[in-house]
Amino acid sequence: MIRILSIIAMIAILVVPAFVYQRIGSFDSFGYLGFFVANYFGYGLYILPFLVTRLNPVLLILIGAFGSTIDEVFAWYVGKTGDLHDKPSKLHQKVERYVDQYGLFGIFVMGVVPTPGFIVTIAAFISGHFQIPFRKYFLAGFSGRLISRTIWTLGFLYAAKRVGWF
């Protein structure tokens, strides 16, 4: 089910900008700070197609990876300092087994593979709960998102040159 939702999300991220581009004003006025904030709140990929030809793609990759990784710091901290009082959901248990089995490599993979944001948040919480040091967690998450943002940015650059939407 999660795999199907991920595929639907990827298609939506690629198709929706083509339909809304003519109705939306200039996205480049957001600048790098706006792009960071959008990534922090999990919406960076929605405005990336509009910025990729107007701003420096390398900076967009770095800012996107950093913003989306910083988003999970609070979840990591809560996991480190909090206790599990409620019975975890099946999804929580599944992500917990994944993080327990694969550790930092699993966090890295979750950063690369397009997964719904709440799964990465659960993984951040579990990483904190398992006492994975913050630097290691951040490095694994940031590295995965760096690869992911590079792929998305190059894809949108290719689409902009081939299709001319953006």
Determine the pLDDT at residue 8: 74
Q: Say how many C-beta atoms besides its own lie within 10 A of residue 58's C-beta.
A: 10
- The rounded percent of the chain whose pLDDT value lies above 90 is 20
Tell me phi and psi for residue 19, to 5 degrees: -85, -30
- What's the whole-number mean pLDDT along residues 145-161? 91
pLDDT in tens, 1-22: 666 766 676 676 656 655 655 5
Determine the pLDDT at residue 129: 82
Tell me phi and psi for residue 77, to 5 degrees: -65, -45
Cα-Cα-Cα-Cα dihedral sign, residues 11, 34, 118, 158: positive
Best CA proximity match to 148, nearest among 28, 137, 140, 136: 140
Determine the pLDDT at residue 146: 95
Determine the pLDDT at residue 54: 85
- Domain assignments of the chain as residue spans, ordered by start: 2-162
- The answer on pLDDT for 63 being more than 80 is yes
